[in-house]
């Protein structure tokens, strides 16, 4: 499949961001008019609300020309089985996503997070059945560590399963941990890469400056570990964001353009996922596809945030269960 340089992320459409469905549809229409043909959502975003908005926007003949991606794994109800990467849940939840998206097929169906309780062969077996049934075209992973990306590739080959053709990792100037292993692993296995949060959850929007009042947001309330300014890791992010904003100004571009161009121009990256909440935010991000960063700008970025480093480990999107206290015998 051929996709546009930017992917439109739909996480902010609905209760998690913009509750005005009509405005969200207009944002999607504008993105399509601007040449974006790739939309990514997930069942868990607003407990299905985001998928419903995307389905409404693509009704009336627009669906056929859009590469549509969604994800499964997150908790969708009070029942303990309405969650995870098991065959039972995947087979059930894909039908719910198809209904909400108003479509007969999903172009890219992704496992939203790893799950130690479910063998990857069970997960890939269920996904393979969905591909053979015509309900899913391709399958992918999201926020998988490199070791589990490789394990999934080997299981697919040995067991004759559909393989993950795409990984969706967190990646931005402030969250560079995937540069060390995940991105090279994806290149070796011929996997597409569609990074989430290239603006680091708003930290690279230009609003986080040392001399300005810090913004509040729904995301800050949901995931305080990434925004609580009493944490030293977030103070490091503020220092870096302020320095990066000054660098962008000196280079004659906005911080948003520089941040997106940084991710866009990595040789392993296929299409960063932008997640606008408003039309203004979308318009500010579209010009990034025309930006190429000079070597001296990239060198200065490396000075502010070294390659392969997450300034705040909480921004990695997945906490390794092997490092939890119970796994360390404490």
Is residue 173 within 8 A of residue 259, CB to CB? The reply is yes
> Which CATH number characterizes residue 68's domain?
3.20.20.100
In a domain, 215, yes or no: no
| Residues with Cβ within 8 Å of residue 16, at least 6 apart in sequence | 45, 46, 50, 218, 219, 222
In a domain, 1, yes or no: no
| Residues with Cβ within 8 Å of residue 329, at least 6 apart in sequence | none
Sheet holding 164-168, edge to edge: 192-193, 164-168, 136-142, 106-111, 67-72, 38-40, 7-9, 273-274
Query: What does the pLDDT read at residue 330?
Result: 66
In a domain, 102, yes or no: yes
Structure tokens at 255: 């911080």
CA dihedral 247, 248, 252, 256 (to 10 degrees): 180
What is the tally of structural domains in the chain?
1
| pLDDT tens for each residue of the chain, 330 residues long | 999 999 999 999 999 999 999 999 999 999 999 999 999 999 999 999 999 999 999 998 999 999 999 999 999 999 999 999 999 999 999 999 999 999 999 999 999 999 999 999 999 999 999 999 999 999 999 999 999 999 999 999 999 999 999 999 999 999 999 999 999 999 999 999 999 999 999 999 999 998 877 777 777 778 889 999 999 999 999 999 999 999 999 999 999 999 999 999 999 999 999 999 999 999 999 999 999 999 999 999 999 999 999 999 999 999 899 988 888 876
Distance CA 2, CA 67 (A): 8
In a domain, 119, yes or no: yes
Distance CA 320, CA 145 (A): 9
Residue tagged 């997960």 (tokens)? 123
Q: Is the dihedral of CA 188, 110, 143, 4 positive or negative?
A: positive
Distance CA 30, CA 184 (A): 34
Q: Considering the candidates 45, 109, 138, 227, report the single residue annotated as catalytic.
A: 45
302-306: long-range contacts at Cβ-Cβ below 8 A with a sequence spacing of 24 or more? 304/173, 304/240, 304/243, 304/244, 304/247, 305/173, 305/174, 305/176, 305/240, 305/244, 306/176
pTM of the model: 0.95
Query: What does the pLDDT read at residue 15?
Result: 95
In a domain, 238, yes or no: no
Structure tokens at 278: 């408003």
| Nearest by Cα to 169 from 113, 208, 217 | 113
In a domain, 84, yes or no: yes
In a domain, 277, yes or no: yes
- Quick check: is 45 catalytic? yes
Q: What is the pLDDT of residues 272-329, one digit of tens each?
A: 999 999 999 999 999 999 999 999 999 999 999 999 999 999 999 998 999 888 888 7
* Domain enclosing residue 108, as ranges: 7-208+259-291
Q: Is the dihedral of CA 69, 72, 73, 75 positive or negative?
A: positive
Distance CA 243, CA 27 (A): 31
In a domain, 278, yes or no: yes
């Amino acid at each position: 499949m051929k996709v546009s340089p930017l992917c439109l992320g739909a996480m902010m459409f609905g209760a998690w961001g913009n509750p005005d469905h009509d405005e969200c549809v207009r944002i999607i229409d504008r993105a399509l008019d601007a040449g974006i043909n790739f939309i990514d959502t997930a069942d868990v975003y607003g407990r299905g609300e985001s998928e419903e908005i995307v389905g409404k926007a693509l009704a009336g003949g627009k669906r056929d020309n859009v590469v549509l991606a969604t994800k499964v794994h997150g908790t969708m109800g009070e029942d303990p089985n309405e969650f995870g990467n098991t065959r039972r849940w995947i087979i059930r939840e894909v039908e719910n996503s198809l209904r909400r998206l108003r479509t007969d097929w999903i172009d890219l169906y992704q496992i939203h997070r790893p799950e130690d309780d479910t063998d990857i062969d069970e997960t890939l077996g269920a996904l393979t059945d969905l591909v053979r049934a015509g309900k899913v075209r391709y399958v992918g992973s999201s926020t998988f560590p490199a070791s589990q990306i490789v394990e999934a590739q080997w299981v697919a080959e040995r067991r004759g399963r559909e393989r993950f053709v795409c990984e969706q990792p967190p990646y931005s100037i402030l969250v560079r941990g995937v540069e060390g292993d995940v991105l090279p692993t994806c290149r070796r296995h011929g996997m597409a890469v569609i990074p989430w949060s290239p603006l680091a959850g708003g930290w690279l929007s230009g609003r986080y400056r040392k001399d300005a009042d810090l913004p509040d947001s729904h995301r800050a309330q949901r995931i305080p570990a990434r925004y609580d300014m009493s944490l030293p890791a977030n103070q490091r992010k503020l220092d870096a964001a302020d320095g990066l904003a000054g660098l962008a100004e000196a280079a004659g571009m906005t911080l948003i353009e520089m941040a997106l161009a940084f991710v866009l121009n990595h040789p392993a990256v296929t299409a960063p996922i932008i997640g606008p909440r408003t039309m203004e935010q979308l318009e500010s991000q579209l010009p990034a596809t025309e930006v190429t960063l000079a070597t001296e700008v990239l060198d200065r970025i490396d000075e502010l945030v070294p390659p392969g480093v997450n300034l705040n480990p909480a921004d990695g999107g997945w906490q390794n269960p092997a490092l939890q206290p119970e796994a360390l015998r404490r």
